Amino acid sequence: MPSCRFFLIAFVPVLFIYFIVPPPRPKRPLCPQRKPTYVPGESLILGISLSASYGTISMRNANGFFTDIGRIDGDGDYVAMMRRFSSISSSHPAPPYDGMEEQWDDQPRQWLRDARKMLFLPASSDVRRLSGLARSLVHLARSQAAPHASIASVVISYPALPGVFAEDIIDTARYLSLPQLSGGHGYPPRTLISSYAGHGMGLCASYYNASRCREEGLDHPVRSTLLVDYTSSTILMHAESMREAYGTANSDIDVSTWFLSPTSERINSDADELVRRKLLSEMVVELLNRKWERFRGPPEPLEDITVLLTGNPDDIDVDQARKRMEEAVDKAGFKAQMYHSNPEFIASQGAAEMAWRALTLHI
The alpha carbon of residue 71 and the mean position of all alpha carbons in its chain are separated, in whole angstroms, by: 17
Q: What is the pLDDT of residues 83-111, one digit of tens each?
A: 999 999 999 999 999 888 999 999 999 99
Predicted confidence at residue 251, as pLDDT, reads 85
From 74-78, 201-205, 246-250, the region with the lowest mean pLDDT: 246-250
**Helix, strand, coil fractions of the chain, as percent rounded to 5:** 40, 20, 40
Q: What is the pLDDT of residues 44-68, one digit of tens each?
A: 999 999 999 999 999 999 899 999 9
Query: How far apart are the C-alpha atoms of 160 and 12, rounded to whole Å?
Result: 43
pLDDT band at 264 (very low <50, low <70, confident <90, very high): low
Mind giving me the DSSP string for 86-126? Answer: TSGGG----SSPSSHHHHHHHHHHHHHHHHHHHTT--SSHH
Helices (H), the chain: 4-19, 76-85, 100-118, 125-143, 166-175, 191-198, 210-217, 270-292, 318-331, 346-360
Query: How far apart are the C-alpha atoms of 267 and 264, rounded to whole Å?
Result: 9
**Which residue did the predictor score with more confidence, 169 or 318?**
169
**Residue 318 pLDDT more than 90?**
no
Predicted confidence at residue 135, as pLDDT, reads 97
**Residue 308 pLDDT more than 50?**
yes
Q: Which residues pair with 155 in a beta bridge?
A: 47
- Alpha carbon of 170 to those of 68, 73, 135, 323, 333: distances in Å? 23, 21, 14, 37, 39
Q: What is the pLDDT of residues 143-199, one digit of tens each?
A: 998 888 899 999 999 999 999 999 999 999 999 999 988 888 889 999 999 999 999
Predicted confidence at residue 313, as pLDDT, reads 82
Q: Is the dihedral of CA 77, 83, 89, 93 positive or negative?
A: positive
Per the CB < 8 A criterion, the answer to whether 357 and 185 are in contact is yes
**Residue 200 pLDDT more than 80?**
yes
Mean pLDDT value across residues 233-243 = 94
Q: For all residues of the chain together, what is the average pLDDT?
A: 87
**Residue 78 pLDDT more than 90?**
yes
Query: How far apart are the C-alpha atoms of 210 and 3, rounded to whole Å?
Result: 61
Per the CB < 8 A criterion, the answer to whether 226 and 322 are in contact is no
Predicted confidence at residue 32, as pLDDT, reads 47
Predicted confidence at residue 186, as pLDDT, reads 87
pLDDT band at 25 (very low <50, low <70, confident <90, very high): low
Q: What is the pLDDT of residues 343-355, one digit of tens each?
A: 999 999 999 999 9
**Residue 22 pLDDT more than 90?**
no
What is the percentage of the chain residues whose pLDDT exceeds 70?
A: 85
Please, what is the end-to-end C-alpha distance for the chain in angstroms?
68
Q: Which of the 8 DSSP states describes residue 42?
A: T
Predicted confidence at residue 29, as pLDDT, reads 46
**Residue 305 pLDDT more than 70?**
yes
